Amino acid sequence: MSEETGAISGNRQVLTVRQLNERISEELQAAFPRTVWVRGEVQRLPFDAATRQHVYFELHETGRSGAAEYAVSVSLMGWDRQKFGLGRFLDGTDRDLQLANQLEVCLECRVDFYPKFGKLTLKIVGVDPTFSLGRLEARRRQTLAFLSEHDLLEANRRVPWPELPLRIGLITARGSAAEQDFLTGLQASPWAFQVISRGARMQGEQLEAEVTAALRHLQAEAVDVIVITRGGGSRADLSWFDQQNLAVAIANCPVPVLTAIGHDIDRSIADEVAHQSCKTPTAAAEFLVVCVDDAAARVHRAAQGVARLARELLDDAHARLADTGRLERVVNGALREGRAQVRQDAARLQGAVAGRLSAGNALLADRRARLASATVTAVARRRDHLATVPARLAGGVAARLQLARQGQGAQSARLERESVRLLADRERRLYALATQARLLDPARLLARGYTMTTAADGRILTSAAAAPAGTTLLTRFSDGVVASRVTATGDNPPPDAASGGPTGKGAQGGGKKAKPEANPGQEPLFR
């Protein structure tokens, strides 16, 4: 066959990559001549998809474990976006749906296979908003049922609202229009609001984790109220605030939460569990300003009441002080009575003091006389006592010396007895050790006819292997030492090398016995 249709090799047909991919493309076109509707979860959608000409992402189908089991590549080409008006699902201009990661969608697609690279892609030509909204609504109802079952819908509303919410925790996207509108609304008021801002994404799969983390951070900042706000968007954008974990975090927050998510018609689950909710960031700022205005008005009314009561009290005091003549008479009479009472008290005090002084002088003279008599008596007793002290002291010292001498004599006798016993015990042990040393003395063995063989350096030889040929041996007898030289070793040494053979001569020493005396230059064998 030709290269265009494939080659025949034996009983098999071999296709080139191009031929295989083109045949796959033809078969796919035949199998899917029209568009198909495909549902799945959006993944790997670029964050700047609204500004790209061509957008590429994936549709996933997850299993029971939540992990993706199947996936297919999806593309939204620039000309298809313009032709079918699909751009509104990317830039947020559609009020119901905006494509985002983790959003389940139903898309109308053309099955496209690019033979050159062997790549299968679904090209989007339509979007079914009702499918995604229906899935979101089902999830929303499930979350609301969970919150109601666990009594979380009213939990944050049970937190007391502060009288003066001046320290505000703000959770929104950094630099967003929502942040600017909220801050502008507070700055336009006369009150000294303090805003602690915490940035978080207000859309997408990171929203739940980042907003929850921001709630925990602001709780530690001791704020009066926490505001969660963002600008407007589609109904799909609103669904990111329907997540169960985010709703639980808001419900359990110990600080009142105010939401302003920017939707005029729909309410998110975050709005349902928050303490208060407003439609826009500006409305949230106005709500807080009104709260402080009301508190200031209550303080102003209380101040007016206090001032009115003070004026009434002053008027009553002025009325009581109006009759000054009567007051002067009363004061003068009281002064005269006081002066007379003071004179009487002074006379009584003077008499009492004089009497007490006279009695005190008499008592003092009596005590002085008794003290002088007691002193003379005490001095006499002390003199008598001191006169007997030397005699008593001498008798006591003599008695103690006698007791000490008796104790010393007993100690000396006991020390003498212990010394005799200890010396006898040491003498017996010394005699036993001396007997043992005599019994173990190697000289006794030599006297009984045994010998001892050592090397020239005095090492005792215990085996034939320790005396190779050429070694000088020293054999010790009871009466002297014989030197010899080894000529051979083994189990059966030559007769002439062991004991002199039939000639009766000794080893290399010529058979002559050495003089029975210590070998010069060697240390004595026994000490």
- In this prediction, residue 509 carries a pLDDT of 41
Q: Say if CB 98 and CB 234 are below 8 A apart.
A: yes
Q: Which has the higher per-residue pLDDT, 328 or 200?
A: 200
Domain boundaries, the chain: 32-127, 154-294, 442-527
One fold for 32-127 and 154-294: no
Question: DSSP string of 273-316?
Answer: HSSEEESSHHHHHHHHHHHHHHHHHHHHHHHHHHHHHHHHHHHH
481-504 burial code (b ≥16 CB/10 A, e <16): bbebebeeeeeeeeeebeeeeeee
Q: Say if CB 92 and CB 23 are below 8 A apart.
A: no
Q: Is the pTM of this model over 0.85?
A: no
pLDDT tens profile 159-196 = 999 989 999 999 999 998 899 999 999 999 999 999 99
Asked whether residue 523 carries a pLDDT value surpassing 60, the answer given is no
- In this prediction, residue 373 carries a pLDDT of 84
- In this prediction, residue 476 carries a pLDDT of 87
Q: Which has the higher per-residue pLDDT, 122 or 141?
A: 122
pLDDT tens profile 219-255 = 999 999 999 998 776 666 677 888 889 999 999 999 9
Q: Does domain 32-127 have CATH number 2.40.50.140?
A: yes
For domain 154-294, give the fold: Rossmann fold (3.40.50)
Q: Which has the higher per-residue pLDDT, 527 or 326?
A: 326
Count the Cβ atoms, other than its own, within 10 Å of residue 98.
24
Q: Which residue has the tokens 């939204």?
A: 76
Count the Cβ atoms, other than its own, within 10 Å of residue 195.
17
